[in-house]
Structure 1
Amino acid sequence: MQTEKVTEYIVNWLKDYATNARVNGFVVGISGGIDSAVTSTLCAETGLKVLCIEMPIHQPASHVSRGQEHIKQLKERYPNVDDELVDLTPVFEEFKTEVSLDGKQATVDMALANTRARLRMTTLYYHAGLLGLLVAGTGNKVEDFGVGFYTKYGDGGVDLSPIADLMKSEVYAIGEYLKVPKSIMKAAPSDGLFGDARSDEDQIGASYDELEWAMNMQDEGKKSDDFTGRQKEAFDIYLSFNRRNQHKMIPIPICEIPKNLK
């Protein structure tokens, strides 16, 4: 990948899109991870207004400190960057008092994890509406179109996706080029939706390097039987997520009524 040219292309794309949409800039949710760090820096490079929002909900201290380190560095480098801290923990806890928490614990935990993401989406759009900004998505290609590792109408609810055509390794390459803090570059990727430090790999069962490889193999028309050992295991993990999360990756189904019935 031609990192410098790709970076320049994305920055110009962001600037052109915002200008044509007649908005003031972008709002980005900051998690302390590589994807939000790269996305917010790319937005900052446009020279347009960028609002970085931290939205902790029982977040691990390491996530919070990395996010704050990144925002501090970003504000020192770019005068067009502002930040906001919105503690959503009380909102989340109040929500839990109004809904049923009955059922299998794993199912309840997943529903609450997705609720965290949707509360954050609501917060981003609230500020975007107030300030005339676009919500910039932070999903990469593997997450958005490979394994569907995001929450529908949560972190998947955005106005535009500047890094969604980049593999995770390419996001890291741009992060290095844009001088994203080393603490973020070295941290294990995590969605931070469970209130602990579990990584994406812990949840998925495969690393992003493996998922990236599997996605490329799928594009080449490879099948599970083409592999053995860990390669087969990683490929099957990828296929499993890819199949069951297709509902996130395809347009919402519309029941089209036959003309003779109208």
Structure 2
Amino acid sequence: MQTEKVAKHIVNWLKDYATKAGVNGFVVGVSGGIDSAVTSTLCAKTGMNVLVVEMPIHQAESHVSRAQEHIEQLKKRFDNVSDTRTDLTPVFDEFKTEVFLDGDQATVDMALANTRARLRMTTLYYYAGLYKLLVAGTGNKVEDFGVGFYTKYGDGGVDLSPIADLMKSEVYKLGEALEVPESIMNAAPSDGLFGDARSDEDQIGASYPELEWAMKMDDQGKTESDFEGREQIVFKIFKRFNTSNKHKMIPIPVCKIPNNLI
């Protein structure tokens, strides 16, 4: 990958889109992870207004410290970047007092994890409306189009997706070129939706390099029977997530009414 040219292409794409949309810039949720760090830096390089928002909800301290380190670095490097912190912990806790928490614990935990992501996206769109900004998505290609590892109408609810055509490994290459803090570059990827330090690999059962491989094999028309051992396990994991999360990756189904009924 021609890293510098790719970065310049994305920056120009962002600026062109925002200019045509008649907005002032971008708002980005910053989590302390590589994807949001790269996305916010690319947005900053447009020269347009960029608001980075930290939105903790019972967040692991390691995530908080990395997010704050990145924000401070970004503000020192770019005069067009401002930041705000919206602590959504009390909002989340109050929400839990008003809903049923029935069912097995794993199901409840997942529903609440997705609720965290949706509260954050609601917050981003509030600031977007307030300051006439676009919500920039932080999903990469593996997450958005491979395993669907994001929350529908949460971190998947955005105005534009600058890094969604890049594999996770390519995002890391951009991160290095964009001088993303080493603490973020070296941290295990995590969605931070459970209030602890569990990684994406802990949840999925496969690493991003493995998932990238499986995605490429799937694109080539390979099947489970083409592999054995760890490769077969990883391919099965990829296909399971890809199939179960397909509803996130396709347009919302619309019930078409036959002409003879109208």
TM-score normalized with structure 1 length: 1.00
> 1:231-242 maps to which residues of 2 (within 5 A)?
231-242=231-242
Distance 1:36 1:193 in 2: 15
One-letter amino acid matched to 1:237? I
Amino acid at match of 2:128: A
| In the alignment, structure 1 residue 99 sits paired with structure 2 residue 99 | yes
Residue 157, structure 1, aligned to residue 172, structure 2: no
After superposition, give the CA deviation of every residue in 1:57-110 in whole Å (9 maximum; x if it has no partner).
000000000000000000000000000000000000000000011111000000
- Which residue of structure 1 aligns with residue 32 of structure 2? 32
Distance 2:33 2:187 in 1: 7
TM-align CA RMSD? 0.3
> Number of aligned pairs?
262
Give the counterpart letter for 2:16 in structure 1. Answer: D
C-alpha distance in 2 between matches for 1:194 and 1:61: 13
The amino acid of 1:190's aligned partner reads: S
Displacement of 1:256: 0.3
Q: Which residue of 2 aligns with 1:220?
A: 220
TM superposition shift of 1:122: 0.2
Structure 1: how far apart are the matches of 2:57 and 2:236? 33
d(CA) in 2 for partners of 1:224 and 1:80? 49
Instruction: Give the Cα–Cα distance (whole angstroms) in 1 for the partners of residues 72 and 80 of structure 2.
Output: 13
Counterpart CA distance in 2 for 1:7 and 1:134 is: 19
Query: What per-residue deviation string (whole Å, max 9, x for no partner) do you get for residues 30-59 of structure 1?
Result: 000000000000000000000000000000
Structure 1 residue ranges (4+ consecutive) displaced by more than 3 angstroms after TM superposition: none
What do the CA deviations read for 1:132-191 (whole angstroms, capped 9, x no partner)? Answer: 000000000000000000000000000000000000000000000000000000000000
Aligned residue identity for 2:201: E
- Any idea what SS the aligned residue of 2:195 has? coil
**Partner residue, 1:255:** 255
Deviation at 1:113, TM superposition (A): 0.2
Q: Which amino acid aligns with 1:244?
A: S
1:80 aligns with 2:77: no
Matches within 5 A, 1:1-262: 1-262=1-262
For residues 237 and 243 of structure 1, the distance between their equivalents in structure 2, rounded to whole angstroms, comes to 10
Aligned residues with identical type, % of pairs? 78
Q: Please state whether the residue corresponding to 1:94 is helix, strand or coil.
A: helix
Cα separation, 1, equivalents of 2:153 and 2:100:
21
Taking the aligned partners of 2:119 and 2:157, their CA distance within structure 1 comes to 11
Distance, in Å, in 2 between the alignment partners of 1:193 and 1:177 is 28
Q: Give how far 1:127 is off.
A: 0.3
The offset of 1:21, in angstroms, is 0.1
Matched to 1:5, the amino acid is K
2: distance between equivalents of 1:77 and 1:86? 23
**Code of the aligned partner of 2:229:** G
* Unpaired runs of at least 5, structure 1: none
Q: Distance in 2 between matches of 1:67 and 1:187?
A: 12
CA distance in 1, matches of 2:155, 2:143: 11
TM-score by length of structure 2 reads 1.00
